[in-house]
Amino acid sequence: MPEKTAYPIRLAAVLISIALVILGLYLLQDLLILLSFGMILAMLLLPICAWLERRGLPRAISISICLLLLILVLGGLLLLLIGQAAEFVSDWPIFIKKAESWLNSLQSFLSKNLNISRKKQMGEVTNQTMNLLKNSGSILSTTFTTLVHSITTLILVPIFVFFFLYYRQFFSEFLSKVFPTTERSVLQGIMHKTGGVVQSYLVGLLAVMLIVAISNCIGFWWLGVDYYLFFGSLTGILLLIPYVGIWVGAALPILLTLVTLGPGYAMAVVAWVAVVQFIEANFITPLVIGSKVSINPMIAMLALLVGELIWGIPGLILALPLTAILKVIFDHVPALEAYGFLLGEAPKRSKRE
């Protein structure tokens, strides 16, 4: 086949393959999200599980202990948050009254300074309320579906984690049979490096979340924000969603501070969160995570956009660790080494360039 004819055919085959992969990721998203979370958590727990096995415990018992410890830690954090949230909900009527007073003040300001009559303001509020009520059925249905799906995920993910850890030698043998021309030491090196990258990323992420949560708790306490422990912890936990998670967590304390303390305090909360995010993104995260997961910022942003587009919120959480796994694989496969270079950090430019 002539070279001029072969190249378009190869290009078309690559584009069709990419399209089929993206379609498969979208159509099988529920299953693939479960498997991805299970695989990543299994990589995180593998060192503890292996340590327990070296102490003479059977593999099934070692895995069960690891899962029990994980569930206890997550359950303890959840109980603390639920306790704070319950206290916050009990005071909700007080915040509603303060919000009504603030809205009355806002209406007076708009009426006096912008010549927007109260009647027109109330008409717009009524229209928006009616639209919300019309869509309330679909909103409640979506919320219920999401809740059921989340509960199902919480039940199934530990099961997949157990199987990934229990059958890890079996999966290693499977990869050896899939790639018979590749030396076993090379495959083991890829799997070891992949596990190390994921473990470093997750441990680093937990450290960054803790630092941000403590910083915001201190800042919210200093500014006089109600339930500063709850809101500060929430901003730290939502760092699971890169870039925007901290602001999603800060939205509610900003609104409550605006209603209860005034615009000045609300702007102070915004400024504090902005400073914490700036320090986290430019100093803490590069120091704690950047040296272990060397993905350039542009590729990281593209990975987040693609992950959210295909898998939604879970895609945002899984985008960076999965991209890091792909980079390790590309770096160890000669035919894909160029793509591993593309995913990695750009080399430092010399002074002459």
* Residue range 219-239, pLDDT digits in tens: 999 988 888 888 898 898 888
Q: How big is the chain, counted in residues? A: 353
Confidence of residue 119 (pLDDT cuts 50, 70, 90): low
At a CB cut-off of 8 Å and minimum separation 6, what does 99 contact? Answer: 259
Q: What is the pLDDT at residue 308? A: 84
Q: List, as one string, the DSSP characters of 9-78.
A: HHHHHHHHHHHHHHHHHHHTHHHHHHHHHHHHHHHHHHHHHHHHHHTT--HHHHHHHHHHHHHHHHHHHH
Residue 132 has pLDDT above 50, yes or no: no
pTM as predicted: 0.75
Nearest to 199 by CA among 310, 325, 285, 11: 325
* Residue range 135-177, pLDDT digits in tens: 544 444 454 455 556 666 778 889 999 999 999 888 888 888 8
Mean pLDDT on 247-252: 86
Q: What is the pLDDT at residue 95? A: 64
Q: How far is CA 74 from CA 42, 101, 234, in A?
A: 16, 39, 14
Q: What CA–CA distance (Å, rounded) separates 170 from 347?
A: 38
Which residue's structure tokens are 């925007």?
A: 244
Q: What CA–CA distance (Å, rounded) separates 346 from 296?
A: 7
Q: Is 167 helix (H, G, I), strand (E, B) or coil?
A: coil
Q: What is the pLDDT at residue 124? A: 54
Q: What is the pLDDT at residue 136? A: 42
* Burial status of residue 303 (CB atoms within 10 A of its CB: 0-12, 13-18, 19 or more): buried
Would you list the domain boundaries of the chain?
A: 29-127+158-166
Query: How many CB atoms sit inside 10 A of residue 108's CB?
Result: 11
CB 43 within 8 A of CB 194: yes
* Residue range 49-90, pLDDT digits in tens: 999 999 989 999 999 999 999 889 888 877 877 777 776 666
Confidence of residue 290 (pLDDT cuts 50, 70, 90): low
Q: In this structure, which amino acid lies at residue 126?
A: T
* Residue range 5-25, pLDDT digits in tens: 566 777 777 778 888 888 888
